[in-house]
Amino acid sequence: MAKQTTIHDIAKALGINSSTVSRALNDHPRVSIKTKQKVFEMAKEMNYQPNVLAANLRTKRSNTLGIVVPHISRAFFSNVIAGVEEYAQQKGFNVIIAQSKDMLERERKSVQTLMNSRVDGILISPALGNEDAQHIQEVIDRKTPVFFFDRHYKNIETTRVLMDDQQISAALASNIIQQGAKRFLVLSGDLKTSIYQNRLQGINNMLADYELPEAMVQETNLTYESSSALIEQIVQEGSFEFDAVMAMNDMAALGAQEALKKAGFTIPDQVLISGFSNEMFSRFSSPPITTVDQNGDKLGYMAAKKIIDFIEDPDPIAVEETSTLKSELILRKSSQRYQ
């Protein structure tokens, strides 16, 4: 029996991409009628038989999308989920969620559970400080798309929808410098993680632009408790010589603010404070805390659109794509001496 004609043979014969051939055969709107005609004629000429098994597999979808988030209770991630659900609903997709609690072992199990649940694709924001992404590669190798949002594994080639962490952190640092701050303390998460690296880089770039010393950095788990305990300790040692505390989330910013108030510092007169992620409480604390709104719902919507469009019209050629979304500064009293 002669070797069966594939879409790749048609593509080669016409000198166009296999993905274009695939789309043409599936009557995709992005392909011109002229191209479709050429492809159909060539397919007929070469006696092309669509792979029924593959077509069948393709339609055997569950119309379910899986999401793995580190913490479902965080404002940013629940906004992302809301955005994913909005697009998914428009397209008739259901969404199931698993959380990793930022632990690699739980992330692995979550991915496995979603695969056992026969999801058509997975959106994931990986656990912090981990580089071993074999469990992700295995899923991709089994032809189920895994796309990243907010955080990502560097060594996996796929679609990523990320935030502009470095740029927005630089803009925030610039604003705080203009309020008069010179000595920065940064409360960071695990610096093995790209989002924290990028935020710190943005801050230090801006400090360098203003010829100010590099920020002093403390890695913490970014909880209210650890952050307030850390500030308390620095104050007790008599080594609190900062006039700005930039925390990489709002819980840590609030913990720092409460500890500083307790130690007799006035905010923002003596110390300027900023957080990140715009948790609801940061608007109502005393003083309200300057933060960054990451537009999680828009990020979720975009990530859902990318993966659902891919599921509905898979590109046979491996793709790598990185999109970056803009965040927004939310300037409040904790960092504003002059308004």
Residues 97, 163, 222, 248: which binds a second copy (CB under 8 A)? 97
261 forms part of the interface with a second copy (CB under 8 A): no
Residues 24, 43, 114, 273: which binds a second copy (CB under 8 A)? 114
Residues 227, 285, 295, 335: which binds a second copy (CB under 8 A)? 285
Nearer to a second copy (CB atom), residue 87 or residue 184:
87
Unique residue bearing structure tokens 């962490």: 165
Give the H or E element holding residue 205.
Answer: helix 194-209
Nearer to a second copy (CB atom), residue 7 or residue 247:
247
CB 38 within 8 A of CB 95: no
109 forms part of the interface with a second copy (CB under 8 A): yes
222 forms part of the interface with a second copy (CB under 8 A): no
Number of neighbouring beta carbons within 10 Å of residue 49: 10
Angle at 272 between CA 291 and CA 256, to 5 degrees: 75
284 forms part of the interface with a second copy (CB under 8 A): yes
Selected range binding a second copy among 263-271, 274-282, 305-313, 326-334, rule: CB under 8 A: 274-282
Residues 49, 51, 233, 286: which binds a second copy (CB under 8 A)? 286
Selected range binding a second copy among 106-114, 147-155, 192-200, 322-330, rule: CB under 8 A: 106-114
Number of neighbouring beta carbons within 10 Å of residue 155: 11
279 forms part of the interface with a second copy (CB under 8 A): yes
CB 127 within 8 A of CB 100: yes
Question: How near is the Cβ of 336 to a second copy at its closest, in Å?
Answer: 18
156 forms part of the interface with a second copy (CB under 8 A): no
Q: Using CA atoms, how far apart are residues 246 and 67, in angstroms rounded to an integer?
A: 30
β-bridge partners, 244: 184, 272
Give the H or E element holding residue 94.
Answer: strand 94-99
Backbone angles phi, psi at 232, to 5 degrees: -55, -45
Question: How near is the Cβ of 10 to a second copy at its closest, in Å?
Answer: 36
Unique residue bearing structure tokens 């705080």: 176
Residues 3, 116, 142, 338: which binds a second copy (CB under 8 A)? 116
Q: Using CA atoms, how far apart are residues 335 and 173, in angstroms rounded to an integer?
A: 10
Q: End-to-end CA distance of the chain, in Å? A: 80
What is the pairing mode between strands 159-163 and 121-124? unpaired
Token pair listed for 306: 């990318």
Selected range binding a second copy among 75-83, 174-182, 201-209, 320-328, rule: CB under 8 A: 75-83
Q: Using CA atoms, how far apart are residues 228 and 234, in angstroms rounded to an integer?
A: 10
Nearer to a second copy (CB atom), residue 97 or residue 173:
97
Nearer to a second copy (CB atom), residue 81 or residue 234:
81
If binding means CB under 8 A, how many residues of this protein chain bind a second copy? 35
CB 79 within 8 A of CB 296: yes
Question: How near is the Cβ of 241 to a second copy at its closest, in Å?
Answer: 27
Residues 6, 94, 167, 336: which binds a second copy (CB under 8 A)? 94
- Note the residues at the interface with a second copy (CB under 8 A): 62, 64, 66, 72-73, 75, 78, 81, 85, 89, 94-99, 101, 106, 109-110, 112-114, 116-119, 254, 258, 279-281, 284-286
